[in-house]
């Protein structure tokens, strides 16, 4: 804390703790079976559902037309 105000020290300490919490929450740990299922889904994705097709259509009509 040398050379720092109390406010700077507290902000720096809180930021360090917050960054650690975010870092640990961003990490996803998968079992071997989960990893295999994920890789299979990525390699062979199912066809899009009607709802997904509709969502893409709506996206094109509303968002992409702005450009």
pLDDT at 14: 95
Contact between 38 and 30 under an 8 Å Cβ cutoff? The reply is: yes
Tell me the C-alpha distance between 56 and 19, whole Å: 35
pLDDT in tens, 16-47: 999 999 988 888 889 999 999 999 999 999 99
At residue 42, the 3 state secondary structure works out as: helix
Q: Where are any strands of DSSP class E within the chain?
A: none
CB count within 10 Å of CB 11 equals 12
Domain boundaries, the chain: 6-66
Tell me the C-alpha distance between 19 and 3, whole Å: 23
pTM: 0.43
């Amino acid at each position: 804390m040398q050379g720092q105000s109390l406010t700077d020290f507290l902000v720096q300490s809180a930021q360090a703790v917050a960054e650690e919490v975010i870092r640990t929450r961003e990490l996803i740990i998968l079992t071997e079976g989960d990893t295999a299922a994920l890789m299979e889904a990525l390699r062979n994705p199912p066809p899009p559902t009607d709802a997904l097709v509709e969502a893409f259509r709506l996206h094109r009509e509303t968002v992409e037309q702005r450009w």
